[in-house]
Structure 1
């Protein structure tokens, strides 16, 4: 069973796939980098988990870019 943080990370990852398609991992990586710059390591960990979910997701790999 997922805890609340895992559920939110999955929800965000799926939204990113819907919104950005194949560019979703790039967007998540930029958000993680911004969190590091702001020394917000909890937020960085969340974006890292989202990147892991995107990497595991076949939808992210097969999604075509909308642009």
Structure 2
């Protein structure tokens, strides 16, 4: 079972994929960079987790299409 932060990160990643498609990781990286500039490391950690989720989903799709 996921905690609330993980659930929100997964929901945001899903929305980004739906809204931006292949550009979703770029959008998340820009948000993480902005959070770093503002020294908001909690928000940066959330965007980093969203990037990880996006990378995992991209890897899973890549593996699925090979078989």
Give the TM-score taking structure 1 as reference length: 0.86
In 2: Cα distance, 1:25 partner to 1:58 partner: 10
2:16 is equivalent to residue 38 of structure 1? no
Q: Give aligned pairs, total.
A: 61
Q: Which structure 2 residues correspond to residues 1-67 of structure 1 after superposition, within 5 A?
A: 1-58=1-58
- Report 1 or 2 for greater relative contact order, CA contacts < 8 Å, sequence distance ≥ 6: 1
Unaligned 5+ segments in structure 1 are 63-67
Runs of 4+ in structure 1 displaced over 6 angstroms?
none
RMSD of equivalent CA atoms: 1.6
Unaligned 5+ segments in structure 2 are 63-67
